[in-house]
């Protein structure tokens, strides 16, 4: 399947008080949500060996926090570290300092006794910005930062497994929050395909099961919504030996009772809620979407999730409004 994506220009973002005098236009960005890289003014620069990139990632995850040399040795080599590990950390720090100074952007690594600290605006580390955006209630904008599996080229480094699990857990939480907003806005048809793929990938996430049930119910597919509950019940009992939680059970009971509270909210905004004056419209379309949905539904659901996250993140960042979506990715206004 070939899906072409037009990458959006990074949104303007609120800045923390800067720790250096470097101009904002030449700031450095440390990117961990995908293969690890660093950029200045949008241009990547060389970071050296795998261990040097790993060192930068560890320091960036703890930006503006002092990290001891012992902790860095454990992060880079684990319990079986070479006798010269501390001297190797010093060498990697020296190399990174040179790379950062040559690139510009104002980031610096300072030494504090037998410890090191990366001094940088926290919002210039995409993983930290991702967490802030979730806290700020902007899950779609947060998800648009992802370029692939986090720390993708460092997955075998000792420190990486725990961080990858943590970031992936946060990503799924952000997806759930974004879908919650879509359901509250009456976009149940648009998210149903995405939910099917997510439930298959994360079968133990009760919230995703509940969202899928609600989307099916609001699409007029009540029998399938009830079957979705039975599927969730079966998965929970067979895989972890527990019954579904009270929230999922209450949703099931409400569906059996045809509770009017489950009905979808009105989709179209009142005329007074729409902007006036000069407005900008963004229209998107996925060419051949019907054929792609039929040929590769799982891959198409994941591709459309990425598409929707980028579009919704850009709209959310500029206080815009999603007016209409037709079909499963046919067009968005």
For the stretch 242-263, pLDDT in tens is 999 999 999 999 999 999 999 9
pLDDT, tens digit (0-9, with 9 covering 90-100), for 140-178: 999 999 999 999 999 999 999 999 999 999 999 999 999
Residue 311 shares a structural domain with residue 200: no
Please indicate, yes or no, if residue 48 is contained in any of the structural domains.
yes
Tell me the CATH number at 143. 1.10.10.10
CATH code assigned at 248: 1.25.40.10
Query: How many distinct helices (H) and strands (E) make up the chain?
Result: 12, 9
**CA gap 237, 107 in Å, rounded:** 50
Q: Which of 184, 209, 235 is the last residue before a domain boundary?
A: 184
| Contact status, residue 30 vs residue 38, Cβ threshold 8 Å | yes
Q: 274-300: per-residue pLDDT in tens? A: 666 677 777 777 777 667 756 665 566
- State the distance between the two ends of the chain, measured CA to CA, in whole angstroms: 25
The residue segments making up the domain with residue 202 are 188-266
| pLDDT the model gives residue 11 | 37
Strands (E), the chain: 28-31, 37-40, 43-45, 67-68, 108-111, 115-119, 284-285, 325-326, 331-332
Q: In this model, does residue 12 exceed pLDDT 60?
A: no
Can you tell me the distance from the alpha carbon of 111 to that of 96, in angstroms, rounded to the nearest whole number? Answer: 13
Q: How many CA atoms lie within 13 A of 50 on its CB side?
A: 13
Based on the fold, state whether residues 180 and 202 are members of the same structural domain.
no
Rounded-to-integer distance, Cα 2 and Cα 246, Å? 42
Radius of gyration of the chain (CA): 23
Instruction: Specify the pTM.
Output: 0.74
Alpha-carbon distances, residue 272 vs 21, 182, 228, 267, 276 (angstroms):
45, 21, 39, 14, 9
pLDDT tens per residue, range 58-95: 999 999 999 999 999 999 999 999 999 999 999 999 99
Q: Pick from 161, 184, 207: which residue ends a domain? A: 184
């Amino acid at each position: 399947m070939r899906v072409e994506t037009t990458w959006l220009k990074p949104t303007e973002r609120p800045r923390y008080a800067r720790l250096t005098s470097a101009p904002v236009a030449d700031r450095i960005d440390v990117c961990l949500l995908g293969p690890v890289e660093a950029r200045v003014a949008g241009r990547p620069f060389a970071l050296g060996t795998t261990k040097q990139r790993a060192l930068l990632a560890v320091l960036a995850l703890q930006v503006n926090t002092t990290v001891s040399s012992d902790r860095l040795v454990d992060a880079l080599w684990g319990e079986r570290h070479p006798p010269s590990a501390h001297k190797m950390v010093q060498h990697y720090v020296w190399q990174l300092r040179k790379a950062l100074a040559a690139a510009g952007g104002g980031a610096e690594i300072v030494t504090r006794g037998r410890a090191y600290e990366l001094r940088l605006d926290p919002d210039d580390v995409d993983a930290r910005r991702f967490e802030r955006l979730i806290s700020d209630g902007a899950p779609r904008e947060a998800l648009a930062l992802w370029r692939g599996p986090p720390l993708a080229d460092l997955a075998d480094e000792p420190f990486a497994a725990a961080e990858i699990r943590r970031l992936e857990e946060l990503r799924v939480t952000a997806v759930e929050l974004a879908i919650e907003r879509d359901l509250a806005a009456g976009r149940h048809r648009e998210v149903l395909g995405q939910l099917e793929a997510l439930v298959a990938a994360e079968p133990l996430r009760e919230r995703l099961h509940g969202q899928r049930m609600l989307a099916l119910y609001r699409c007029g597919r009540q029998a399938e919504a009830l079957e979705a509950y039975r599927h969730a019940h079966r998965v929970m009992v067979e895989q972890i030996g527990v019954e579904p939680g009270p929230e999922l059970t209450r949703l099931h009971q409400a569906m059996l009772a045809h509770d009017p509270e489950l009905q979808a909210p009105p989709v179209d905004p009142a005329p007074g809620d729409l902007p006036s004056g000069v407005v900008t419209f963004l229209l998107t379309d996925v060419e051949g979407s019907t054929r792609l949905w039929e040929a590769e539904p799982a891959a198409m659901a994941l591709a459309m999730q990425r598409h929707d996250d980028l579009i919704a993140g850009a709209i959310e960042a500029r206080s815009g409004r999603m007016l209409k979506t037709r079909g499963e990715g046919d067009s968005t206004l």
